Amino acid sequence: RKQVTLPKLRDMYAKGDPITVITAHDFPSAHVADAAGMDVILVGDSLAMVALGMEDTSEVVVEEMLLHCRSVARATKAAFTIGDLPMGSYEISPGQALETAIRFVKEGRMKGIKLEGGKEMAPTIQRITEAGIPVLGHVGLTPQRQNSLGGFRVQGKTVASALRVLEDALAVQEAGCFAVVLEAVPPEVAAIITQKLSIPTIGIGAGNGCSGQVLVQVDMTGNFPPGRTIPKFVKKYGDVWGESFRAIEAYRDEVKSRQYPAQEHTYSMPVKELEGFVQ
């Protein structure tokens, strides 16, 4: 498979070919996503919950993100890789954001970065893109701001709110984003925003009118830890947790019953050597 580049993504957008995006957080999850033909692999800060067991994304720090980015980069041969700037690593100034973005490229081996926010982040996005680092925007529901949003709430449900999401999307486009994630907005609003933009929209909980879709891998493969709340927009395409559970249970039972390991799982020793040894 040929490497997915920014021009390739632009070409897909121009042709109306949907852009497929999925998260990965380590070597195996990136390997399978790349092999399955994903266009973009995102090391989302959702790894705070799905890989590190944290309560929300506010706890994860740059060094932790970079460790995961490096492991994803090692497994990714074709997909375009994006690292998610964690809360606290980019909001203070465009300079702080650029420093963090550079670390994601140099230490995290990512091709681009994602950051949350609209109009207010425009100077920051401009600074990073001018340094030659592709930026994926993220508007609508921005989970890092859950406390000021009053939780994980759908955005753009009123005229005023929908206009704000549109303004934010236009602002990050103007600032240089190559694409923008639209999270948790009504499908009609997302479709109109998509029509008004000249960069791809990547929807999550934003309906079928976007230029592409993104999902958290452990959610859509059914590999989430029990107790994780799965948003309404997730479609569970697999039961990886159930498959692992059945395998581990079978292993436990076979160890207890001494069925495992069988002869074929062992190394043989020449009979003569064995006779000498048992003397």
Where on the chain is the footprint of ligand KIV (CB under 6 A)?
A: 23, 42, 44-46, 84, 181, 204, 214, 216
Residue 236 in tokens = 């569970």
| Residue pair 50/215 in contact by the 8 Å Cβ criterion | no
Helix, coil or strand: residue 267: coil
Residue 89 binding partner per list ligand KIV, Na ion, none, with a CB distance cut-off of 5 to 8 Å that depends on partner kind: none
CB of 50 or CB of 193, closer to Na ion: 50
Which residue out of 63, 91, 107, 183 is catalytically annotated? 183
Residue 173 or 201: which CB sits closer to ligand KIV? Answer: 201
Element (H, E) at 40: strand 40-43
Q: For the CB of residue 261, give the shortest distance to ligand KIV in the complex, in Å.
A: 39
User: What is the separation of C-alpha 275 from the centre of its chain, rounded to a whole number of angstroms?
Assistant: 57
Residue with tokens 């890789």, as numbered in its chain: 81
The Cα angle at residue 223 between residues 218 and 224, in degrees rounded to 5:
75
- For Na ion, the closer CB: 154 or 192: 154
The kind and range of the H/E element at 50 are helix 47-50
Q: Residues 33, 44, 101, 103: which binds Na ion (CB under 5 A)?
A: 44
Q: Which does 181 bind (CB under 5 to 8 A by kind): Na ion, ligand KIV, none?
A: ligand KIV
Q: How far apart are CA 93 and CA 90, in angstroms?
A: 7
Residue with tokens 């929807």: 203
- CA distances in angstroms from 139 to 129, 154, 207, 260, listed in the order given: 17, 11, 15, 52
Known active-site residue 107: no
The residues in 82-101 that bind Na ion, with binding defined as CB under 5 A, are 84
| Cα gap 31→91, rounded to integer Å | 32
Instruction: Tell me whether residue 42 or residue 133 sits nearer to ligand KIV (CB atom).
Output: 42
Least spacing, CB of residue 204 vs ligand KIV, in Å: 5
CB-nearer residue toward Na ion: 55 or 275: 55
Contact 176, 135 (CB under 8 A): yes
Q: Which of 34, 39, 45, 219 binds Na ion (CB under 5 A)?
A: 45
Q: Which residue is nearest to ligand KIV (CB)?
A: 44
Whichever of 129 and 142 has its CB closer to Na ion, that residue is: 142
Given the rule CB under 5 A, which of 37-45, 71-79, 156-164, 225-233 is the region that contacts Na ion? Answer: 37-45
Question: What tokens does 112 get?
Answer: 């681009």
Shortest gap between Cβ of 239 and ligand KIV (angstroms)?
21
Which helix (H) or strand (E) is 168 found in, with range?
Answer: helix 159-175
39 near Na ion, rule: CB under 5 A? no
User: Least distance in Å: CB of 55 to Na ion?
Assistant: 15
Identify which range of 4-12, 70-78, 81-89, 249-257 contacts Na ion by CB under 5 A. 81-89
Taking the C-alpha atoms of 51, 57, 60 and 65 in order, what is their torsion angle to the nearest 10 degrees? Answer: 60
Q: Which residues are catalytic?
A: 183
Residues of this chain that bind Na ion (CB under 5 A): 44-45, 84
